[in-house]
Amino acid sequence: MLYRMLQCEIITFPIYGKLKKAGLNENARYLERITAEYGYDTALLKPTQPVIPALLIYSLKENYEKNLVSFTKVEEVLSLWNKKPQDFAINYEYET
């Protein structure tokens, strides 16, 4: 985003350099401090938890109920987000 701002001449090259340096991981506290000093919310600076697409959950549930995928495969896919099928009301169905 910074590079695009430079291309559009919204910021100058010296400001681009300062902002790029401030955005490095080792300067996270500095960036948070100056953001707060200017009166802005720092919530957007903090990382968020990854979100599982609702369509994926729906598809996994539907495909499992139709026996198109195994319960193990559902577990495998959800483990990418550190979740379990039970978190989404997908329960193992025992065959009788």
Say if 93 falls within a structural domain.
Answer: no
Determine if the pTM surpasses 0.85.
Answer: no
Q: Range of 68's domain?
A: 54-88
Total domains in the fold of the chain: 2
State the residue for tokens 């340096």: 21
In this structure, the answer to whether residues 59 and 34 fall within a common structural domain is no
Q: What is the residue-level pLDDT of the chain in tens, covering all 96 positions?
A: 788 888 999 889 998 888 888 778 788 888 888 888 888 888 877 777 788 999 999 999 999 999 999 999 999 999 999 999 999 999 888 765
In this structure, the answer to whether residues 62 and 33 fall within a common structural domain is no
User: What single-letter DSSP state applies at residue 10?
Assistant: S
Question: Exposed, middle or buried, 6 (CB in 10 Å: 0-12/13-18/19+)?
Answer: middle
Say if 94 falls within a structural domain.
Answer: no
